[in-house]
Amino acid sequence: AWKRLAGTNRLAVVERSSGGPPRLRLTLNLGRGASEIRLREGQTPRDAEEAAIELAASIAAAAVASGFETGLEVVGVVAPRIEPSSGRRGLERIMDVLAGLDLSATRRRDSIPGGSGLREVRVVVEPGESTALDGDDRTWRFGSARLDSLRSSPREATA
């Protein structure tokens, strides 16, 4: 390209690679025992886990709709890991895993995977109130206890 532009006094840029879409790694933490989940009044641990699954599904759908490559890891129960991908098929795989979770299964004490890539963020969804962050500024944590406030419209939230 430089030969064609040599006498024109114009700049040329050669882009050899393009950046990929942003990535979201969604982690559903079901590794805490029922006695460790901080519940709202009148809520059962099973209700909190169901709400966490619903919140994870909503975050995945919103991320895919916003153009993120989205993947899923479930901590605490056996479930396939879904590598980040974009589009309807990737979202369907995530929804299938979430719908097929066995909440009556014995829980494992798996650790939450750490670290995210340069163009990647991790979102951890937990039943009940979210646990404290470990100082990782690329990880966001949401507890299912906030699901009701997320469901309400802005008008309801200010009333």
Give whichever of 34-43, 51-60, 133-142 has the largest mean pLDDT: 51-60
The whole-model pTM stands at 0.77
Q: Is the pLDDT of residue 6 over 60?
A: yes
C-beta separation of 62 from 77 below 8 A: no
Distances (CA, A) of 70 to 38, 39, 47, 78, 87: 28, 28, 25, 20, 9
| DSSP-assigned letter for residue 125 | E
pLDDT of residue 157: 44
16 vs 71: which has the higher pLDDT: 71
Q: Is the pLDDT of residue 83 over 70?
A: yes
Cβ-based neighbours of 74, under 8 Å, separated by 6 or more: 27, 28, 30, 81, 97, 101
What strands lie across the sheet with 82-85, from one edge to the other? 82-85, 69-75, 23-29, 120-126, 139-143
pLDDT of residue 159: 44
